[in-house]
Structures are given as structure tokens and as C-alpha cells.
């Protein structure tokens, strides 16, 4: 005998597809699930041509959700999910009808925990670097001998005591201004910025030390805050960052004019060691004395040599030698002058002889005559004369007038008269 439970059977029942579509409509049309942030740990990840499939789990609650990033969006992810990483996923809920399972279709993946802090640090660092806040050209040199130093740190921190002891030991008599501030927690960035502003308004400090002792990475987050970085960048006083850590530099380190890894080192960077200054001063003084001694010794030796030379050569002997030298130079001058005068006289005589040879009067004395027409023109050719023409003939000791009786181009015999 079969047993039939007393159940009320409906006239119609939902199909599997109908149930799936109903659940799909509930999930995919819910505005809270159309854009949702989910955080968890990646337990597995597999790459396929269509996309990256991974599982996001919550180990404490023993829950997990399947996720997918389609290939078209992989290059837009801030970080690629890898097994064991803590991440934050932005996406929407989608129901896979064939399997009756829902999955998270991811649009963006961000690192969580340490990864998220690193991402935020990198993004802020890149933005501030683009503004030029970390450029070396902005770095100011520290004063060699400051008289007043300001310190920004917590009054209850060990860093304040370390800085006081270091400054007192290295540079006694230094005036130290203390501007207290929180260096840990949510209020620390604002407190540090206000403490720096107080120092600037006071106007006495020549160097500012921003310090904190060691601590956990989370405790150092205030030194990566944009408010602290900009307060340091806008501070007109050179800033030394002395933050106790050995990890990557904080943004406060990068924007400061100088940075070291401990508050004690920051104090040592701010002021010189008085003992070192005294040693350097003593060394320079001794060097100066030594240089003066060497200079004096050299000139004493030179003076001694000159005195010895002067004693070896008497003054009257030197004068006699100078007189002889002058007399020798005088003789050379007279001889040179006489030689020049003799050469000039000979040259003048030669010129006079040449001039005498060219003198027309000398030619007439040798028996030659100058024949002129009545107009005074010198007759140079028989063709210039005609018979019966009156001419004037000049001799060496006078002249006379004659009449041309005949003109011939033939040379006459020596004894024939022309007139």
C-alpha cells in the first residue's frame, strides 16, 4: 500500500527556466547589485582567451563568490588578481542561467590592505611629483651655523628627548623652539601642518626638524598625507625630516630639503659638532702659522743672501764698474754717429757730381751752344729754320744774334761755320 502525503498540489508550477529568470531579474535589476564593491582574498585565478576567472573568498566567514574580468577590460585594471592577494572588486551581479549560479562581473580591481596603501601612495606621489614638489631645484641648503632651531614632534615621544640631548651635546647654547603635534592617528596630518605654520608665523627659526621615532607602517601614514607634504613644501624655512623608519621614503622625506632615518640623525644634520668646529679652527690656525713661518723664513734667507752679496762687492767698486760701462757705451755712440755722418757726406758728394754732370751751363763750357728763334724757342732741328731768319746763339760766356744764310740737313765739316 503506497503512502501519499496529504499535499495541496497547485494547478501550475514554475519551470526551472522560469525560476532562474525570476531569480535573475531579482538579482540583476537590484540597484545595489548593479554596481557593488566587494573585498576579499583571491583563492584561485585562471586566464582564458575570453577573460580572467577567479574566486574571491572570505576566509573568516567561509564564503566565496565567482568572479570574471572579460579580456576587453583586463588592460584597464589597476592590479591583476593573483592568488593570495587581498583586493577590492567593483562590478555587477550576473546570474548564469545554465548553471543556476551567480557571479561578479568585475570592471575594476584595486589592491586592498598593504596593496591599497601602496597604490594610494604611488598615485599621490606621482601627482605631487608632476607639480614639481620633489624637484632637486627646490631643495634649499641648510645654514652652516644656525642660532635657532624649531622641532615639530610629539611632546611624549622619545624623539623629542633624543633631539634635545643631541643638540645640547653637539652645539651648546643653541636656542630650540618646540612646536608640539600629534604624529600618529587621524588627527596627526592636521596637527603637523598647524605646528609647521606656528613655526613660520613665529619667524625666529632658521631650520625646522620634523621628527618621529620608529613604529608600524600604519603609524607612519600621516607623513604620506597631502596636507603634511604641502605644509613642508610651502614652508619658507629649510626642513629636515627625521622619521624613524627603514622602509621606502615617505612623501615627507621626498619634499623635505634634507632627510635622515632617525630623529637623532636629524639633529646631527641640523647643527655641526662644536668639537669638530674647534678642531677645524685649531687646524686652520696652525696651518696659517705654519704658512707665515715658511714665508718669513724664505724672505729671511733671501735677505741674508743679498747682504752677503753686498758685503762681497764694495759700493765704490760697483760705481767704478758702472762708470766704465757708461764710458764704453758713449764711445760706441760716438763711433756710430761718426760712421753715419761719413756715409751721409759721401752720399751727398756723389749726388753733387751727378747734378754737375746734368747742369746745362757745364755743357756750354765744353764748347756747345744753344740756338733759339726770335721767340725764344730752342731750335732742335734744321727743319725749324729758314734762310734769312734771325736767330740767337747762347755760349758759355754770352750770346749773339745771327742770320741764317742756308739750311742743310747734312753734317758740316768741323771747321765750317754755320752762320
Per-residue confidence (pLDDT) for residue 1, from 0 to 100: 47
Write the pLDDT tens digit of every residue in 49-83: 999 999 888 766 678 889 999 999 998 898 888 87
Per-residue confidence (pLDDT) for residue 419, from 0 to 100: 39
Q: Which residue has the higher pLDDT, 361 or 301?
A: 301
Write the pLDDT tens digit of every residue in 84-96: 788 889 999 988 8
Cell triple for 344:
751721409
Residue 29, phi then psi, degrees to nearest 5: -95, -5
Residue 130, phi then psi, degrees to nearest 5: -65, -30
Q: Give the pLDDT band of residue 287 (cuts 50, 70, 90).
A: confident
Per-residue confidence (pLDDT) for residue 156, from 0 to 100: 86
Q: What does the mean pLDDT of the chain come to?
A: 84
Per-residue confidence (pLDDT) for residue 228, from 0 to 100: 94
As a whole number of angstroms, the distance between CA 45 and CA 361 comes to: 137
Of the listed ranges 7-11, 12-16, 35-39, the one predicted with least confidence: 7-11
Sheet with 207-212: list strands edge to edge. 175-180, 148-153, 207-212, 239-243, 258-260
Q: Give the pLDDT band of residue 238 (cuts 50, 70, 90).
A: very high
Residue 231 in contact with residue 196, Cβ under 8 Å?
yes
The helix-helix angle for 226-234 and 188-202 (nearest 10°) equals: 10
Per-residue confidence (pLDDT) for residue 371, from 0 to 100: 85
As a whole number of angstroms, the distance between CA 318 and CA 333 comes to: 23
Q: Give the pLDDT band of residue 191 (cuts 50, 70, 90).
A: very high
As a whole number of angstroms, the distance between CA 115 and CA 112 comes to: 5
Q: Is the pTM of this model over 0.75?
A: no
As a whole number of angstroms, the distance between CA 396 and CA 302 comes to: 86
Per-residue confidence (pLDDT) for residue 241, from 0 to 100: 92
The percentage of the chain sitting over the pLDDT mark of 90, rounded to a whole number, equals 31
As a whole number of angstroms, the distance between CA 25 and CA 19 comes to: 10
Write the pLDDT tens digit of every residue in 202-237: 999 999 999 988 776 667 788 889 999 999 999 999
Going by C-alpha positions, the residue among 174, 218, 178 that lies closest to residue 196 is: 178
**Res 312 pLDDT > 70:** no
**Res 418 pLDDT > 80:** no
Amino acid at each position: 500500500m503506497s503512502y501519499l502525503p496529504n499535499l495541496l498540489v497547485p494547478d501550475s508550477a514554475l519551470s526551472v527556466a522560469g525560476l532562474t529568470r525570476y531569480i535573475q531579474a531579482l538579482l540583476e535589476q537590484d540597484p545595489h547589485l548593479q554596481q557593488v564593491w566587494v573585498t576579499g582574498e583571491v583563492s584561485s585565478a585562471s586566464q582564458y582567451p575570453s577573460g580572467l576567472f577567479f574566486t574571491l573568498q572570505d576566509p573568516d566567514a567561509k564564503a566565496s563568490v565567482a568572479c570574471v574580468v572579460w579580456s576587453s577590460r583586463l588592460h584597464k585594471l589597476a592590479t591583476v588578481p593573483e592568488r593570495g592577494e587581498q583586493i577590492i572588486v567593483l562590478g555587477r551581479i550576473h546570474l548564469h542561467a545554465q548553471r543556476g549560479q551567480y557571479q561578479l562581473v568585475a570592471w575594476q580591481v584595486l589592491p586592498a590592505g598593504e596593496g591599497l596603501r601602496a597604490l594610494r601612495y604611488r598615485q599621490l606621489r606621482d601627482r605631487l611629483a608632476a607639480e614639481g614638489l620633489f624637484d632637486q631645484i627646490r631643495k634649499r641648503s641648510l645654514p652652516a651655523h644656525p642660532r635657532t632651531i624649531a622641532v615639530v614632534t610629539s611632546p611624549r615621544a622619545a624623539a623629542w628627548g633624543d633631539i634635545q640631548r643631541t643638540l645640547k651635546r653637539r652645539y651648546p647654547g643653541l636656542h630650540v623652539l618646540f612646536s608640539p603635534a600629534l604624529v600618529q592617528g587621524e588627527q596627526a596630518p592636521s596637527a603637523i601642518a598647524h605646528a609647521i605654520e606656528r613655526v613660520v608665523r613665529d619667524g625666529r627659526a632658521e631650520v625646522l626638524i620634523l621628527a618621529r621615532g620608529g613604529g608600524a607602517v600604519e603609524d607612519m601614514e600621516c607623513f604620506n598625507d597631502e596636507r603634511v607634504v604641502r605644509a613642508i613644501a610651502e614652508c619658507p624655512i629649510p626642513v629636515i625630516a627625521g622619521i624613524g623608519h627603514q622602509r621606502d621614503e615617505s612623501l615627507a622625506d621626498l619634499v623635505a630639503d634634507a632627510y635622515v632615518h632617525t630623529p637623532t640623525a636629524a639633529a646631527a644634520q641640523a647643527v655641526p659638532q662644536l668639537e669638530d668646529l674647534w678642531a677645524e679652527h685649531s687646524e686652520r690656525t696652525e696651518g696659517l702659522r705654519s704658512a707665515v713661518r715658511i714665508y718669513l723664513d724664505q724672505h729671511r734667507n733671501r735677505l741674508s743672501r743679498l747682504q752677503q752679496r753686498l758685503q762681497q762687492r764694495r759700493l765704490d767698486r760697483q760705481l767704478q764698474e758702472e762708470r766704465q760701462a757708461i764710458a764704453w757705451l758713449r764711445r760706441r755712440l760716438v763711433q756710430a754717429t761718426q760712421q753715419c755722418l761719413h756715409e751721409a757726406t759721401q752720399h751727398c758728394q756723389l749726388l753733387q757730381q751727378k747734378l754737375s754732370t746734368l747742369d746745362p751751363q757745364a755743357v756750354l763750357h765744353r764748347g756747345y751752344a744753344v740756338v733759339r728763334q726770335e721767340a725764344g724757342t730752342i731750335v732742335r732741328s734744321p727743319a725749324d729754320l729758314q734762310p734769312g731768319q734771325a736767330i740767337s746763339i747762347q755760349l758759355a760766356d754770352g750770346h749773339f744774334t745771327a742770320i741764317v744764310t742756308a739750311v742743310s740737313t747734312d753734317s758740316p765739316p768741323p771747321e765750317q761755320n754755320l752762320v
